[in-house]
Structure 1
Amino acid sequence: MLFRIMKKIHLIVFTAFPFFFFAQSIKGLHIPDSLKNKSYQYIEEAYNKVFQVDNDKAELFANYILLKGKKENNKDIIFDGYYNIARVKNLKNENGHPYADSLIAASKNVKNYDYPAKSHIIKGILFNNEGRYKEALDEYTIAINHNRTENKEQFFYINKLIAILKTATEEYEEALPLFLKYYEYENDKVKAGNADAKNYIASIFSLANIYTKCKDYKKSTEFADLGLVECKKYNNYSNYSYLLMIKGISLFYLKDLPASYKILQEVEKGLVNNKDYTNLGVLYYYLGKIKHAAHSENEAIEFFKKADSISFMFKTFEPVKRDGYEFLIDYYKKKGDLKNQLKYINNLIYSDSVITINRKNLSKEILKKYDTPLLMKEKVSVIEKLNNQKTWLIAALLFISLLFIFIIRKNRKKIKEYEKQAKVLSEKPLMASVPQKETKIESIAPVIHAETASERKEKAPKSDLSTHPKFKILIEKIEQFEKSKSFLTKNITLDSLSKDFDTNRDYLSKLVNEVKGKNFSQYLNELRINYIVEELKSNEKIRKHTIAAIADDIGYNNAESFTNAFKKITGTLPSYYIKALH
């Protein structure tokens, strides 16, 4: 209210000296005697040491910087004060926008090394943390246009922020080169004896994180370990908890569950102290995944519930946590707890809607708003370097651009193919439930190729399996196996089935190959997929189940195995097929 009144009364003065009228984030604060005579550089260094380690202290130092700038009437220090306050507010999941907006207004007509580009950078970071990716992109685009050619540090930092946005759209392979460029730039500074410890370690963290997204968990662990060593070397612990978290997550995917759990538990305290609830929610999700993988279901559910509570309390919805809701829904479904089952179904629907809104058309926006101006900026840089005979950069730039466009088009084409095949599959009439003949079982699905008798005869081995004394008995058992839908049982293998059929593994394998024209694994997958294709078509209730639940119902150990088998046999994905049926 005070700010609004002053804005109306002192409009002319405000325009000339905007930075005089913004309040610090902690009212009534005064610089302590111990810092009154200290330089700006001293207080800034103190701020950097506690940033992401003790964010309450960091906010105090940021306010001291702002007060010092006002006292000395130094615009540059005032700008840094507002910037630092907004950064800390961002990490504490508090509203940093008033300080970012004040900074943008104050630096609007300034043309120095950092500003006004840096003002729009922090505004973009705040939007990104809230999941407002398109607005973040708009701010980064403005920052690119304000970036001074000689300020390479800022240029590579914006590069990194755009890579973070690409990560949000799951364009991990496209984000990786941008993170590598940022790391190489910071590493070159280290080699030249001009290290910026904070940015150098941050670039290592970014690489460790993107390698996790690219599922290269060994590389991710390697860079996380490097970052932890460098934190101790440079006595800079801003990213220490986050590097530990990346290592713990990578070890989970590398199946080292005890080490992963121990590390992530260690990280929890640091995130709570920093009030970093976004990452705390992700942490609880992974602790739940570890307990689930260790078959400790009740403990897993408690962690998934904590992750959900944080999401709704602090409005932080991350795609990575999605299947945590599927576990919760399935858990309460098995318990017959309809109230909680409905609760988490609604929570999942809401979470999906928020994520969808935030990410809608973002990939196209990045291509249009970021890649184009960035390529133009790099083009100018390349032309300047032509005088030094480095023309190879042009070819590399063109190659990356073409590769990026190719990947986008390929993905769009793949989605259209999935949708088309799903439509064809959904429009096929239901198969009549009549007894199946022994040689026709594999022809249920409309997209599966069924070999003719003559084709199988050509491929049949020279030995005549029908002479085996158990031939007819096994054929009858196979027919019964199909009619009774025993193929839906979990963990069926050639070994287990041969024991059930009272025969040896090799003979059963050869029999399936000759009679069905395919190996046992293909035969089993086709039976299951053919079954669920028809079941989804005729049973609306099953369509409402999660992919993980459907996979479990028909004998698969996880949703990924089911999805891969479904795609290989039908040419589309289960989700697209279910959508087509609706």
Structure 2
Amino acid sequence: MKSLKYFFFLLLAYNQYYSQNKVLIDTLSKYDYLELEEKFYNYKDNNKIKESKIIAEYYLKKAKKAMIINNIAEGYVFMQYNQNLAASLKYIDSLESISDRLHDNRYPARIYLLRGKLYFGYDNEKLALDNFVIALSHAKEKNNKRQIAIADLQIAYLNGYIGKHKETVKMLEYYYGHPEFLTAQDIEHIQISLSDAYIDIYEYDKALKLIKEGLNDASKNNAVIRYNKYLILLGRYNLETKNYSNAISDLEICKKYFFKNNLDFDTNYTMLYLGESYIKSNKKDKAAENFIKIDSIIQKTNNTFPELRDVYTYLVDYYKEKKDKEKQLYYIERFLTVDKILDSQFKYISRELPRKYDAPKLLKEKENIINDLEKKKYFLFSGLGILLLELIAVGFFFYKSKKSEKKYQKIAQDLIKSIHKKKSEIEEKEERKDFIPSKIEIASKIEKSVIRNISENTVQKILKELERFENNELFLQKGITLSSLAKDFKTNSAYLSDVVNTYKEKNFASYLNDLRIDYALKRLVQDKKFRSYKLTVIAEELGYNNEQAFALAFRKKTGTILRTYIKEIDQSQE
């Protein structure tokens, strides 16, 4: 009986859906192609997926029946929206197959722009970048100013992805001030992205001005999606300016709206900022609740973003504190999975963006310089001479840089091998230095090195305290001085200094620094999570006041640089 009722319910639902669609299709028959295009984009931009799909299907069917090639092309463009990746690519391929017959200077650049945006939406930044660069090349060949602008903007967003926020701001500001070839919707997108980018570079006043303008305009025009997008940015602004209660209030409103309308990308960033606001408000459970929901969306969509590392790191620490080992292990695995994806995307874009995008721009600048020199022949030889000297200088510095980099790599590789084998000369030397000598050796060393008279009992006591200091890793504490440590050992600083100089064979500052660097060398190899921290955090955990002091101490002690050491560890463990 229940199954019969269920059957009638499905039949009723189908009839209702079919009737509604038929009414809409019958209504569409009275519109021409331009009116249908306007309706399609209106539905699409307001997230009315069902209605936009019906119009797209009707439009393509009508164009094919009339055999109007240009409208068939637009029909393929409409159909590639709101589909799964395979279906969308199929429609773009169909568009490409007829593009030669269109006699339209938007092609073939339009095809690559569509593919690039599609891959970007499906979190494949590698293919997105490749397609945007090809689109830019074709757009320049056809001198299509609008497509050049669109490609430039998309590449600017990728620059933001890898943290080049100043470059992103520069490009967005240019097109925000030069909107001649852009639509109103393009400008709205730029304004939203520019507001976000201003926050990234701490230009809070500029960000707030754009956000307020956006909120007012969206409110006047009843643009609900756009209003909520600006509300996210207002929430982020309040988070960054430490107004956490306002941030939470704004972001909770956005969260409800985006969840209701299945806008996963916006939902994720809303909950990211919301979680961070709750952390700052000391509401750890609320923060974890939002981060857990982000993970569930990521598993559903497979769309990652760079800040996810912070999400999973927080959840790992959260469940560690709660002593829930199962969930801690789960989020460690999730972190490693996502980290691998992000690392792959980041490295690719960081490497290829300058090569494929910045290099052609530099070549164009070079071409302009040469043309200018041809017009001003008086400066030709001097200009070429300067250019040659610059190239020689660049070549020399490049050679030196490569030579230094190879040297740093070799040192880093040797250090890593020594950590794994636990037989390095440094470790052996440290073991010998930690050994408490015999009375005869003490007497010998006191005769040779100690200026002041120190009793043997006092020496032994200080050596035992130093052993405790090293074994318990107390050297990682901040603000350690010779005086403070002597006070902790219940001795005076002169005695402590003499013992360190004699038995550690170095002054106190070098002794403390070497302990910290040796600890860093081992932990960076053994602890991937520790390696993923920002350098400021690593430096702080090691007891240094700032990142620069740590990096300088690391290089002085090891002979290589910290960035190279971490890079070599990552490569050796891939």
Aligning the two structures, in what range does the TM-score lie when normalised by the shorter sequence? 0.5 to 0.7
Residues 296-307 of structure 1: pairs in structure 2 closer than 5 A: 296-307=283-294
Question: How far 1:252 sits from its partner (Å)?
Answer: 1.9
2:304 matches 1:313: no
2:209 matches 1:203: no
Question: How far 1:28 sits from its partner (Å)?
Answer: 7.8
- Other structure's SS at 1:84 match: helix
In 2, Cα distance between equivalents of 1:376 and 1:262: 50
Question: How far 1:319 sits from its partner (Å)?
Answer: 1.9
- 2:108 corresponds in structure 1 to 116
- 1:328 corresponds in structure 2 to 315
In 2, Cα distance between equivalents of 1:104 and 1:565: 56
- Other structure's SS at 1:38 match: coil
- Other structure's SS at 2:128 match: helix
- 2:88 corresponds in structure 1 to 96
In 2, Cα distance between equivalents of 1:30 and 1:63: 16
In 2, Cα distance between equivalents of 1:409 and 1:68: 62
- Identify the match of residue 171 of structure 1 among 161, 164, 173: 164
Residues 489 and 137 (structure 1), Cα distance of their counterparts in 2 relative to 1, 3 Å cut: closer
CA offsets per residue over residues 470-496 of structure 1, 9 Å max, x none?
xxxxx99x98995796957888799xx
2:144 matches 1:160: no
Q: Comparing both chains, which one has the higher relative contact order based on Cα–Cα distances under 8 Å and sequence gaps of 6 or more?
A: 1
Residues 313 and 94 (structure 1), Cα distance of their counterparts in 2 relative to 1, 3 Å cut: farther
CA offsets per residue over residues 188-225 of structure 1, 9 Å max, x none?
x4xxxx98321111121232233344454444343333
Residues 106 and 328 (structure 1), Cα distance of their counterparts in 2 relative to 1, 3 Å cut: same
- Identify the match of residue 78 of structure 1 among 56, 72, 80: 72
Question: How far 1:345 sits from its partner (Å)?
Answer: 1.8
Question: Which range moves more in the overlay, 271-280 or 201-210?
Answer: 271-280
**Matched residues, number:** 501
Residues 413 and 249 (structure 1), Cα distance of their counterparts in 2 relative to 1, 3 Å cut: farther
Q: Following superposition, which runs of at least 4 residues in structure 1 exceed 6 angstroms of deviation?
A: 27-30, 376-386, 405-418, 433-436, 478-481, 488-494, 515-520, 522-527, 534-537, 548-555, 557-562
Residues 274 and 530 (structure 1), Cα distance of their counterparts in 2 relative to 1, 3 Å cut: same
In 2, Cα distance between equivalents of 1:204 and 1:363: 25
In 1, Cα distance between equivalents of 2:322 and 2:104: 63
In 1, Cα distance between equivalents of 2:211 and 2:21: 41
Q: Where does the alignment leave 5 or more consecutive residues of structure 2 unmatched?
A: 1-19, 377-382, 419-423, 435-461, 556-561
In 2, Cα distance between equivalents of 1:236 and 1:546: 44
Question: How far 1:122 sits from its partner (Å)?
Answer: 0.8
Residues 162 and 578 (structure 1), Cα distance of their counterparts in 2 relative to 1, 3 Å cut: closer
- 1:140 corresponds in structure 2 to 132
In 1, Cα distance between equivalents of 2:399 and 2:241: 32
- Other structure's SS at 1:111 match: coil
CA offsets per residue over residues 390-409 of structure 1, 9 Å max, x none?
xxxxx9xx9xxx9xx99999
| Equivalent pair of 1:201/1:231 in contact (CA under 8 Å) | no
Question: How far 1:89 sits from its partner (Å)?
Answer: 4.0
In 2, Cα distance between equivalents of 1:560 and 1:81: 62
- Other structure's SS at 2:52 match: helix
Question: How far 1:321 sits from its partner (Å)?
Answer: 1.0
Which has the larger Rg? 2
- 1:276 corresponds in structure 2 to 263
Question: Which range moves more in the overlay, 422-431 or 209-218?
Answer: 422-431
In 2, Cα distance between equivalents of 1:353 and 1:580: 12
Residues 392-403 of structure 1: pairs in structure 2 closer than 5 A: none
Letter in 2 for 1:566: F
Letter in 2 for 1:120: Y
Letter in 2 for 1:140: F
| Equivalent pair of 1:62/1:85 in contact (CA under 8 Å) | no
Letter in 1 for 2:124: R
- Identify the match of residue 354 of structure 2 among 367, 370, 373: 367
Question: How far 1:112 sits from its partner (Å)?
Answer: 0.8
| Equivalent pair of 1:110/1:116 in contact (CA under 8 Å) | no
Question: How far 1:163 sits from its partner (Å)?
Answer: 1.6
Higher percent of residues as helix: 2
| Equivalent pair of 1:116/1:143 in contact (CA under 8 Å) | yes
Question: How far 1:126 sits from its partner (Å)?
Answer: 0.9
Residues 110 and 169 (structure 1), Cα distance of their counterparts in 2 relative to 1, 3 Å cut: farther
Question: How far 1:322 sits from its partner (Å)?
Answer: 0.8
In 2, Cα distance between equivalents of 1:258 and 1:265: 11
Computed over aligned residues only, the root mean square deviation of the Cα atoms, in angstroms, reads: 5.6
In 2, Cα distance between equivalents of 1:47 and 1:568: 59
- 1:59 corresponds in structure 2 to 52
Question: How far 1:154 sits from its partner (Å)?
Answer: 1.6
In 2, Cα distance between equivalents of 1:241 and 1:383: 50
In 2, Cα distance between equivalents of 1:231 and 1:107: 37
Question: How far 1:303 sits from its partner (Å)?
Answer: 1.7
| Equivalent pair of 1:124/1:135 in contact (CA under 8 Å) | yes
- 1:453 corresponds in structure 2 to none
In 2, Cα distance between equivalents of 1:43 and 1:384: 48
In 1, Cα distance between equivalents of 2:261 and 2:364: 37
- Other structure's SS at 1:361 match: helix
- 2:527 corresponds in structure 1 to 543
| Equivalent pair of 1:49/1:237 in contact (CA under 8 Å) | no
In 2, Cα distance between equivalents of 1:139 and 1:483: 55
| Equivalent pair of 2:232/2:251 in contact (CA under 8 Å) | yes
- 1:226 corresponds in structure 2 to 213
